[in-house]
Amino acid sequence: MTESKHSGNISPEFALLGFLISGQSHGYDLHQRFVTELGHVWHLSQSQAYAILKRLESRGDISAHLVEQEKLPARQMLRITTQGRKRFFEWLELGLGTNARSIRLEFLTRLFFAQLHRPESISQIYNSQSDEIESSIVKLETLIEHLPPEQTFNRLSLDLRLQQLRLIQNWMAEIRTQFHISRI
Amino acid sequence: MTESKHSGNISPEFALLGFLISGQSHGYDLHQRFVTELGHVWHLSQSQAYAILKRLESRGDISAHLVEQEKLPARQMLRITTQGRKRFFEWLELGLGTNARSIRLEFLTRLFFAQLHRPESISQIYNSQSDEIESSIVKLETLIEHLPPEQTFNRLSLDLRLQQLRLIQNWMAEIRTQFHISRI
DNA sequence: TCATATATACTCACTGAGTGAGTATATATG
DNA sequence: CATATATACTCACTCAGTGAGTATATATGA
């Protein structure tokens, strides 16, 4: 317990990769697309976008090629590599997340790119996320049951988390109808 | 938009300060207390606790004194300074937070320490937090209203945030009765 | 009795998240 | 003609966070 484990928050990275699946592009444009399409899901500053792209390049998930322009400064044209493509689809179909924040951020991001690049696996993504929530609700419930009664603040915290997870279930049910996702 | 602006997440710092209000202590003990009392509200690793304490010292919010022990390694005994005390109570009574996460984390932490050190200002803290939520619900509602309809994912994200804020309102109403907090 | 686990008490090196400002140029707008 | 805005990045910096390591003492079980 609890979140902020420095592990989450990987998906702006994958979002940038996801945009590159549609074809090569450059930092400025990727950041722009990110802001207009997912700007209310995540916040991503320009410099941060560039930093992430640098990291992706150093890991071999994308490759960069300088393209001179007559007037404006040269562009770093970016292409996703085979490895990057593999990593992206692994994240898309296997990545999960349990807490409210990561669901809003990661799950929505995955849904967004699934719709773009893998519409046929939307229901699989949806269902595994939904199962994950189910099971973490159960875990939380037992955790709360076994919490010593004097732990007022820990209890309040876990109570809210539990209620948030239940809320997310309803919110996801709403998504299911909107996206015409079939049950398991 | 959206959170994770690198600004939030200041309260483990204040929590450590808060424990020092009750009297001097040392890193190991402070971390232990944190984990047992607020371990389900926040996660705070040991090394992180020490890092924060270092920062607090460099800012002059706490002072350290080496205390030799016959057998175990020496302790850094930590005391809160006048400045630290001032900073702590400012945070306690003025600090706010709008998103689900920061409310669960920061608000609960403030409530915890208010109960310990300032029970008379609990209702003020509660009410200003509650007002803050009210006003950000209004903001979110208008934001959603003015969102172009094709922005499916941004809308879904904001919808969930709105519902989460409403959930928090109910959760806080529950706290009000538990803590016998009077209305404004 | 001897190994092993656990508690005490911290340090260190490292990666990553994130910001804010700066650089340089082109085009549109009042 | 000045100013704002869009294009396209870079840089220096701070804070967050982890995981492993160091060193010692005591309890616990085979």
Over range B33-51, report the average pLDDT. Answer: 92
Three-class secondary structure of residue A67 per DSSP: strand
B10 or A161, higher pLDDT:
A161
> Would you say residue A2 has pLDDT above 70?
no
pLDDT for B9 equals 65
The answer to whether strand D lies under 7 Å from the CB of residue A36 is no
CA-CA distances (angstroms) from residue A148 to A136, A142, A151, A152, B42?
Answer: 20, 12, 6, 9, 18
- For residues B12, B15, B20, B25, the Cα torsion angle rounded to the nearest 10 degrees is -50
Q: What mean pLDDT is predicted for residues A72-87?
A: 89
Give dist(CA A110, CA A15) in Å, integer: 8
Q: pLDDT tens digits for B62-103?
A: 999 988 776 666 789 999 999 999 999 998 888 777 777 778
Q: Distance between CA atoms of A6 and B44, rounded to whole angstroms?
A: 11
CA dihedral of B125, B129, B134, B138, whole degrees rounded to 10: 140
pLDDT above 60: residue A3: no
Q: Which nucleotides of C are covered by protein (CB under 7 A)?
A: 8-13, 16-21, 24-27
B155 Cβ neighbours under 8 A, 6+ residues apart: A40, B144, B147, B149
Partners of A145 on chain B (C-beta within 8 Å) are none
CA-to-C1' span, B22 to D7 (A) = 56
| C-alpha B65, offset from chain centre | 27
Measured over the CA atoms of residue A81, residue A83, residue A89 and residue A92, the dihedral's sign is negative
**A51 CA to C18 C1' distance (Å):** 10
- The SS3 assignment for B41 reads coil
pLDDT tens digit sequence for A108-120 = 999 999 999 999 9
Specify the DSSP class assigned to residue A9: -
Mean predicted lDDT score pLDDT of chain B: 88
Stretch (H or E) spanning A55? helix A46-59
Type of residue found at A72: L
Round and report the angstrom distance from CA (A19) to C1' (C28). Answer: 29
Helix (H) or strand (E) holding A76: strand A75-80
Chain A residues touching B155 at Cβ < 8 A = 40
Please check the confidence at residue A75 and state whether its pLDDT lies above 50: yes
> From the CA of B72, how many Å to the C1' of D22?
13
Mean pLDDT (chain A, rounded): 88
Q: Which residues of A touch B (CB under 8 A)?
A: 1-5, 9, 37-43, 100-101, 104-105, 108-109, 111-112, 147, 151, 153-161, 163-164, 167-168, 171, 175
> CA B109, CA A151: separation in Å to the nearest integer?
13
Measure B6 CA to C16 C1' (Å).
12
SS3 B6: coil
The minimum CA-CA distance between B74 and chain A, rounded to whole Å, is 30
Do residues A3 and A101 touch, judged by C-beta distance below 8 A?
A: yes
- Whether CB of A46 is under 7 Å from strand D: the answer is yes
Contact B4 A37 (CB under 8 A): no
Q: Which residue of A has its CA nearest to B105?
A: A157
pLDDT tens digits for range A14-58: 999 999 999 999 999 999 999 999 998 899 999 999 999 999 999
CB pairs under 8 A between A and B: 102
pLDDT of residue B117: 94
Q: Do B38 and A153 touch (CB under 8 A)?
A: yes
| DSSP assignment string, B49-102 | HHHHHHHHHHTTSEEEEEE--SSSPPEEEEEE-HHHHHHHHHHHHH----SHHH
Q: What percentage of residues in chain A have a pLDDT greater than 70? A: 92
pLDDT of A8 higher than 70: no
Q: Which pLDDT does position B5 carry in this prediction?
A: 41
- CA proximity to A95, closest of A179, A182, A11, A6: A11
Give the per-residue pLDDT at A71.
67
Give the H or E element holding residue A78.
strand A75-80
Contact B153 A1 (CB under 8 A): no
Give B129-180 pLDDT, tens digit per residue: 999 899 999 999 999 998 888 889 999 999 999 999 999 999 999 999 999 9
Q: Provide, rounded to the nearest whole percent, the portion of chain B with pLDDT above 90.
A: 66
| Cβ within 8 Å, pair A2-B43 | yes
DSSP A66: E
B38 has pLDDT over 80? yes
Asked whether residue A74, judged by its CB, lies under 7 Å from any atom of the DNA or RNA strand D, the reply is yes
